[in-house]
Structure 1
């Protein structure tokens, strides 16, 4: 039997690492502010993360898990801040506003449904499945980049620190999901572990060209 103190320690470290991962958006927004524009970058990743955090927040409320609740309250607040900065500096404000309004309507409808439905077990399962699906889609988003890396046999374009952070966070939440015996927390984070590990392996399979060139010289 796993002690509650160990479970809380794992959840605390996972929450801290997740919040630190969320804070990476500050660097992105800082670049927007310095340049005075978002350039060609898309703000959809902020919207997608807002959706994910919002639904995990509701799931945390339904299962009564304070760690899941607070980490996603923080994530939701940060994503709203990032969307505000992106909207201020982007050239196509109508697009990001449409995405944001659509996501808010979707979140509102799901929250309202989860409140009026009296079958808590059914609602918890449905919200958990939705949260799980959104997280899997989020983890699957780099697959197009992986195809490019494999085709070019060059891993230079992959963000190594981000992948390491993703791997650590996924492993922590996967372990926490096992302790809770919660398949909705286990499944997306297990896939996150696998995908992150595969991306890390590409740095060994396709060493950075700069490193190769330095050995040749």
Structure 2
């Protein structure tokens, strides 16, 4: 298969799988709407998802990578809606609003800086570094869940379909990043692949003892590109 055809195929499949991954948040929000409460779950992943997608959208615009921009427009819109739904049903509105305000300030600061930077290459580099830091921060979040699985020797708290999808999405974007020679896309998705493989290995080492009620547990590993 010729390289242009491979890139086109990767762009299409990566966008589709990434959007499906973003839509996993709708399952969680549907539960909030049914129960009229967010329970003891955290809405921070939705806020961070909105920040990360917005930053990658900005990066895609700077680098003229339409695929990156397109998929993150969808992601930013979805995560914003998830964040709003969480705010509606949570009882801890004030702390949550502070978190969302802080994220908006970060996003605004990055946008203002890149707008004022006259050196486009420097602006792209800064945006890429910021995007990588935010995305790597997401990948570090599930480590606490991994320690819990190792401690109890049971992987039933890990959502197998979501982790499998995360591996597939990360692998696609890693290959895409290699083909277009973009290290800012390669680095976070390489780490995403490694984390997903680590979690999948836990299903072999510590098989789930039961599957009751665990399908909706959301691991904070939303991969943003």
Counterpart CA distance in 1 for 2:195 and 2:139 is 7
1:38 corresponds to: 38
1:105 to partner: Cα distance:
1.6
Q: Which residue of the partner structure matches residue 81 of structure 1?
A: 81
Shift of 1:2: 5.0
Contact 1:46–1:79 under 8 Å retained in 2: yes
Residue 180 of structure 2 corresponds to 180
SS of the aligned residue for 1:158 comes to coil
Partner of 1:12: 12
Task: Give 1:65's aligned residue.
Answer: 65
State the aligned residue count: 211
The Cα RMSD (Å) is: 1.3
Structure 1, unpaired ranges of 5+: 212-217
When Rg is computed on C-alpha atoms for both structures, the one with the higher figure is 1
Stretches (4+) displaced over 2 A: none
> Following TM superposition, by how much is the alpha carbon of 1:3 offset from its aligned partner in structure 2, in angstroms?
2.4
- Give the Cα–Cα distance (whole angstroms) in 1 for the partners of residues 146 and 101 of structure 2: 31
> Are positions 1:195 and 2:195 aligned together?
yes
Q: Deviations over 1:144-196 (max 9, x none)?
A: 01011111111111111110010000000000000011110000100110110
Which runs of 5 or more structure 2 residues have no equivalent in the other structure? 212-225
Match of 1:116 in 2: 116
Q: What SS does the aligned partner of 1:176 have?
A: helix
| Residue aligning to 1:93 | 93
Distance of 2:49 and 2:208 partners within structure 1: 30
Hey, what does 1:135 align to over in structure 2? 135
Partners in 2 of 1:22 and 1:85 — Cα distance? 15
Q: TM-score if structure 2 supplies the norm length? A: 0.91
Partners of 2:86 and 2:152 lie apart in 1 by 31
Deviation at 1:100, TM superposition (A): 1.0
How far off is 1:5 after superposition? 2.2
Q: Which has the higher helix share?
A: 1
Verify the 8 A CA contact 1:38 1:90 in the aligned structure 2.
yes
CA distance in 2 between counterparts of 1:210 and 1:159 reads 12
Conserved 8 A contact 1:2-1:179: no
Equivalence for 1:153: 153
**Alignment of structure 1 residues 50-61 onto 2, 5 Å:** 50-61=50-61
Distance 1:30 1:210 in 2: 24
CA distance in 2, matches of 1:119, 1:25: 37
SS of the residue 1:209 aligns to = coil
